[in-house]
Structure 1
Amino acid sequence: MQTRNNIHFFYRHDDNLDKKLQPLFKLARENDFHIVDNPEQANIIVSVGGDGAFLQAVRTTGFRQDCLYTGITRSDESGLYCDFNIDNFDEMLHTMQHEEMEVRRFPVIDVKVNGESEFQCLNEVSIRSTIIKTMVVDVYIDDMHFETFRGDGLIVATPTGSTGYNKSTRGAVIDPKLPCYQVSEIASLNNNRYRTLGSSFVLNKDRTLTLEVVQDGNDYPIIGMDNEAYSIRNIQNLTVTLSDSVIKTVKLKNNSYWDRVKRTFL
């Protein structure tokens, strides 16, 4: 098994958290792990602070394919991406050193804006109106016109992202072992002129989704990618496909995705 012993801790520094993490740093060093400041030198990237911190760690470090990501929550937090919390950090180190690691792979979507700028998302990409006016979007699946949407916006979510913004719009929660992505509506307007499916729909990994923004004066929507907003003026189209990339994380035994969904929502 490949040796993985260079760890980078990704978190927002403050005095209280720094103090609380010192025993973890000490424990890591005692177990022959090397803590590095530069994430490019790490083969394990540990986020501290729940799902938001995990998403930021993945985005900031460039969706690396050659390392493991893992998330640690603090005592009062829960996270669908995070298998560990500060209180069981030693269990994570023991797993990495002495046991056959189980690696979970999370799907990623590729997003191209206006045919030029390219991004990746682990959770979702959303496009929303920024003014008090509905936006109109022509939705294409594999170059076939599927529907003309009018409403506040659309969400395209990965399976793991299906429990976030997507779920709040009554989208389905999808097993991350399914290579697919989901499209959900935000406050669609249905009448004799504009007619949409009225429910979320799921696309297979081989499908290409294109969202063409109708240039009717509402041409400056906000693009949300995971937990970041991108202010790109004059949005004409988004093209979404399932990426060949995946995010690899350490998996605790007997802690499946559905175990974490149950703990979070039920």
Structure 2
Amino acid sequence: MKFAITSKGDSKSNTLMHKMRTYLQDFNLTYDEDQPDIVISVGGDGTLLYAFHRYRSRLDKTAFVGVHTGHLGFYADWVPEEIEKLVIAIAKTPYQVIEYPLLETIIRYQHGGKETRYLALNESTVKSVEGTLVMDVEIRGQHFERFRGDGLCLSTPSGSTAYNKALGGAIIHPSIPAIQFAEMASINNRVFRTIGSPLILPAHHTCMLKPVNGPDFLVTIDHLSLLHKDVKSIQYRVADEKIRFARFRPFPFWKRVHDSFVSD
């Protein structure tokens, strides 16, 4: 088996990374940063997001596993005191593959420019470069609303506990292939109307955003923030690809939700 390890970069994470690399090589596993079968993320959820984007071209071949060195993460289910146990599991135990849905974002440009495609593990947001964001929202090719406000957030089920939750969105179990549409500070009065509630769209539905008041937008893809000019439309849907997690023991989603938001 070939493996790679990504680290948050702090001294604790780097020490664990080097220790795990040595242990796994002692078990005759091959360290390969280019074509790993398994990627170990040491840090937090942000470190795993970085690893996901680094290996997004190998999602059908690479599985991820996380070790958290700070606060409890939604993607990292091992702690530093368990790395010997994890190393033995990786070296000796066949793992179960758990797949989570991803968000596909396609940005098309005016004047026939080449479209850009992204995959997000958590979410994508859209904001205006200046002033209020005004977007026509289409669902399944039909006009749904004209949004006016601070911005829009499209999230995956696994990302529903992140920015989406802060916007009042629902928490969705990641076994459900869906995306969620949430508004940021929408303007609602006697003149302007939006739905005002988060929407959950199934895998066969597409959400299309079409600019009304300007062609330039700030678009985030997980932790990446990008300026896009001359935008004609932004399309969102459940991606065909999925992220694969290597599970060596149960990691119940609702327990993670409880431990992160409810437990003392």
> Which residue of 2 is the match for residue 141 of structure 1?
139
> Which residue of 1 is the match for residue 47 of structure 2?
53
Unaligned runs of at least 5 residues, structure 1:
none
CA positional deviation for 1:228 = 0.5
> Which residue of 2 is the match for residue 72 of structure 1?
67
> Which residue of 2 is the match for residue 11 of structure 1?
7
> Which residue of 2 is the match for residue 35 of structure 1?
31
CA positional deviation for 1:153 = 0.6
Q: Which moved further from structure 2: 245-254 or 167-176? A: 245-254
- Give the Cα separation in 2 of the matches to 1:16 and 1:94: 21
2:148 partner letter: R
2:246 partner letter: V
Q: CA contact under 8 A between 2:16 and 2:42: conserved in structure 1?
A: no
Partner SS for 1:55: helix
Q: Which moved further from structure 2: 232-241 or 103-112? A: 232-241
Deviations 1:104-161 (A, max 9, x none): 1110111110261111111111101233x21111110111011111100100000001
- Give the Cα separation in 2 of the matches to 1:20 and 1:101: 21
> Does 1:246 find its partner at 2:242?
yes
1:121 partner letter: A
Partner SS for 1:240: strand
Q: What is the TM-score when the length of structure 1 is the normalising length?
A: 0.90
Q: Which moved further from structure 2: 240-249 or 17-26? A: 17-26
CA positional deviation for 1:180 = 0.6
> Which residue of 2 is the match for residue 124 of structure 1?
123
Q: What is the TM-score when the length of structure 2 is the normalising length?
A: 0.90
- Give the Cα separation in 2 of the matches to 1:48 and 1:239: 33
CA positional deviation for 1:233 = 1.5
Using a 3 Å threshold, how does the CA distance of structure 1 residues 204 and 46 change in structure 2: closer, same or farther? same
Q: CA contact under 8 A between 2:13 and 2:42: conserved in structure 1?
A: no
- Give the Cα separation in 1 of the matches to 2:86 and 2:16: 17
Using a 3 Å threshold, how does the CA distance of structure 1 residues 31 and 77 change in structure 2: closer, same or farther? farther
Deviations 1:196-234 (A, max 9, x none): 1111010010001101111x2x43221000110011123
Q: CA contact under 8 A between 1:63 and 1:247: conserved in structure 2?
A: no
CA positional deviation for 1:55 = 0.6
Q: CA contact under 8 A between 2:24 and 2:91: conserved in structure 1?
A: no
- Give the Cα separation in 2 of the matches to 1:113 and 1:48: 32
Q: CA contact under 8 A between 2:6 and 2:17: conserved in structure 1?
A: no
> Which residue of 1 is the match for residue 189 of structure 2?
191
CA positional deviation for 1:259 = 1.6
CA positional deviation for 1:85 = 2.4
Q: CA contact under 8 A between 1:46 and 1:71: conserved in structure 2?
A: yes
CA positional deviation for 1:41 = 2.4
- Give the Cα separation in 1 of the matches to 2:125 and 2:151: 7
Partner SS for 2:231: coil
- Give the Cα separation in 2 of the matches to 1:59 and 1:189: 34
Number of matched pairs: 256
Q: Which moved further from structure 2: 249-258 or 192-201? A: 249-258
The match for 2:101 among 95, 104, 107 is 107
CA RMSD between the two structures: 1.8
CA positional deviation for 1:100 = 4.2
2:124 partner letter: V
| Structure 1 segment 189-228 matched on structure 2, within 5 A | 189-214=187-212, 216=213, 218-228=214-224
